[in-house]
Amino acid sequence: MMARDFDVAELDTHLERLLDLTLSERELSLLEMERTEPDLAAVLRKVLRIAAGAHSMELRAVGESLRLVSEDAPPPQIQGYRLLEEIGRGGMAAVYSAVRDVHGIEQTVAIKVLRAALLSPLERERFLNEQRILARLQHPNIATLLDVGIVDERPYMVLEHIDGETIDQRLKAVFDDLPAILDAIEKVSDALSLAHQHFVIHRDIKPGNVLVDRQGRIKLIDFGIAKILDSAGGLGGDQTLTSNAPLTLRYASPEQLSGKPVGVASDIYQLGLLLYHLLTHAWPYDESDHEMPQERLRGEVLPVLASRRVTESRLKRALTGDIDSILLKCLRVAPAERYASVVEFREDLCRHREHRPVR
């Protein structure tokens, strides 16, 4: 029995921070936490083991082998590009805005650089895997890969620069505008459908990975933990990229939490969570219990209907019925009970908008 309870929101805040660290940094943070909040540290270690799909994993054993050069090291100089400022940073890479100058023609781009030359082979391979995946995907709603290279032993990729904000920030002002929200989700669905046609599973669909630019265009970003399926629909290639992939607890599918094989259905689950959040600004589960991930896995906690999470009467009426049903189907614990494809999900949204029966 823990000394105190931790709700999902609190755990998710800590996990987001920990997953943005390298393994060695993460272990140092957990060791410090064990001195001040041992119960919280114990819960976080347990969830991290579940997320990694390796219950016997000990972070202490690998920390020493993953030393990095100083995080304060300046960004590399990349020929043909002038770096302007850092615009993002995670456990694996830093992102900079930059200007590409070709014969006097300037273009603003984003450059994602592996954070240091001495990262673990796993993180390096994951970064290169993202390059390979983005090279497959050409779609107006997916951030475009423009160039790749290696400088000072650090791989980098050049991407289109997206001047905008996250989808939840952009749509917050129109939270009760159901058509606008469904329009946006359909664009995300189109991007995912293209990815799935190329056997790519995103695995990290959340508000922070869907941007809206100043022209209102939707852009799905960050394929850093995406995975390529084999032609039979199973995970192909190096399975270590799956078992050790970081994830966001709140948006993780049940199969991700349990370390089971992940496929198209996992993206559909996360897409449903994204739509639910945009419609309600709420979470579909009770947040009072720190054991929530395990209860979700066992199917003991059912999602609260989206229509019950909103108070505005017009929106409540609009969500009751079809939208509630669509969301519940996305959020089924068993992958086989969800939509078989993003196309089926999108078709049901279209049926609803055309006042036809949904599946």
User: In Å, how far from its chain's centre is CA 264?
Assistant: 14
Distance between CA atoms of 219 and 213, rounded to whole angstroms?
8
**282 dihedral zone (left: phi>0; alpha: psi -120 to 50; beta):** beta
Say if CB 310 and CB 316 are below 8 A apart.
Answer: yes
Q: How many residues does the chain have?
A: 359
Q: Exactly one of 204, 222, 322, 348 is catalytic; name it.
A: 204
Residue 357 to residues 111, 220, 285, 325, 352, Cα–Cα distance (Å): 46, 29, 27, 11, 7
Find, among 275, 280, 258, the residue nearest to 335 by Cα: 258
* Strand 164-166 to 154-160 pairing: unpaired
204 flagged as catalytic:
yes
Distance between CA atoms of 211 and 220, rounded to whole angstroms?
6
Which amino acid belongs to residue 7? D
Active centre residues (catalytic): 204
